[in-house]
Structure 1
Amino acid sequence: MLVEAVRAAGSEAGWTSLITDVWDFIKEALAFFGEGQGLGPMRHRLEAKL
């Protein structure tokens, strides 16, 4: 319900997109926002431990 409220408020405010950050290792969040809310990847950040 919260995501839908944000979408509605953003649309009314003239936003053109909804963006959120999700860690790759949190599979539940990826599934919730990706499959559940229709968000898709827009970039990937890669890291190497030194």
Structure 2
Amino acid sequence: MEDKPEFEQYLVGDLGRAFLSSIHFSKRTHQLDGLQSKIDLFFQD
């Protein structure tokens, strides 16, 4: 099989984007958890 440097560049780029997406997803999940807690507190009063 011959070397395909373009493929490696695309693969590395995709891995980087996937990693960043994972970080953004984690941050959003944390924000949503905080918002859900505030909503729960609002309806408890």
What's the TM-score once normalised by structure 1's chain length? 0.28
Larger radius of gyration: 2
> Taking CA–CA contacts closer than 8 Å with sequence separation of 6 or more, which of the two structures ends up with the larger relative contact order?
1
What's the TM-score once normalised by structure 2's chain length? 0.31
Higher percent of residues as helix = 2
